[in-house]
């Protein structure tokens, strides 16, 4: 009796696996027509759907005006009510932090130091420590920790994303 139940369960699982394989096959076969370029495939309610996917390096071109819990939904509702294309946004240059290999380099020396501490390789302990500390000091000494994305570049990226989104919306029959 038990083996019947177990057998039925196994068949159910097998059907599930078959469905999975079918889903994979269909998704890969139809990937061009199914591709989403807006970053908002499900008409989202919260702010993460307001950016493109992948998002631009600065996330939001303009600081979003958050009112209430479902911020993005509220933004869409307001835009629909105003029934306007977004009025020309005032793009400002955005300051972004500069990349740095410091974390990686420092961690390398720290790992070296940890390894040497385990095996009592004292010269390596000192070398690793000096390397880590020197990296720290070099990083602290840099004068420019930010770079600026000019307003035109911000505008260009943002308009590209907006256009893509508008195209998808009109292709889907408008919302």
Partner 1 sequence: MSVTMAYGARDPHQVLGLDDVEHSGPASKRIVTGFGFWIFLLSDMVMFSCFFAAFAVLSGNTAGGPRGSEIFDLRNVAIETGCLLMSSFTCGMASIAADVRNRFWFQVAMAVTCVLGLAFLFIEFREFAGLVARDAGPSRSAFLSAFFTLVGCHGLHVSAGILWLLTMMAQVFAKGFRADILRRILCFALFWHALDIIWVAVFSVVYLLGSAA
Q: Give the interface with partner 1 as residue ranges (CB under 8 A).
A: 63, 95, 133, 136-137, 140-141, 143, 145
CB of 114 to partner 1, least distance (A): 13
For residue 110 the two structure tokens come to: 């720290």
Residue number, 110 or 168, with CB nearest to partner 1: 110
Alpha helical stretches, state H, the chain:
2-29, 31-34, 71-82, 102-118, 122-140, 151-171
For residue 128 the two structure tokens come to: 């690793």
d(CA 155, CA 163): 12
Residue number, 115 or 133, with CB nearest to partner 1: 133
Residue 158: which of 97, 88, 99, 72 has the closest Cα? 88
Residue number, 42 or 141, with CB nearest to partner 1: 141
Residue number, 75 or 168, with CB nearest to partner 1: 75
CB of 111 to partner 1, least distance (A): 17
CB of 6 to partner 1, least distance (A): 46
Contact 89, 158 (CB under 8 A): yes
Residue number, 29 or 78, with CB nearest to partner 1: 78
d(CA 113, CA 132): 9
CB of 137 to partner 1, least distance (A): 6
CB of 136 to partner 1, least distance (A): 8
């Amino acid at each position: 009796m038990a083996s019947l139940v177990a057998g039925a369960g196994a068949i159910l699982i097998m059907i599930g696996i078959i469905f999975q394989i079918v889903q994979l096959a269909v998704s890969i076969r139809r990937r061009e027509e199914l591709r989403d370029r807006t970053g908002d495939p499900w008409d989202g309610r919260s702010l993460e759907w307001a950016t493109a996917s992948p998002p631009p390096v600065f996330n939001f071109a303009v600081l979003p005006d958050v009112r209430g819990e479902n911020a993005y939904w509220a933004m869409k509702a307001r835009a629909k009510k105003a029934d306007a294309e977004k009025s020309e946004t005032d793009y400002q240059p955005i300051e972004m932090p500069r990349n740095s290999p410091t974390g990686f380099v420092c961690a390398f020396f720290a790992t070296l130091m940890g390894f040497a501490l385990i095996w009592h390789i004292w010269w390596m302990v000192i070398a690793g420590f000096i390397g880590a500390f020197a990296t720290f000091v070099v990083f602290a000494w840099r004068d420019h920790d930010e770079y600026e994305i000019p307003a035109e570049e911000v505008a260009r990226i943002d308009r590209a994303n907006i256009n893509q989104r508008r195209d998808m919306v009109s292709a889907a029959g408008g919302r």
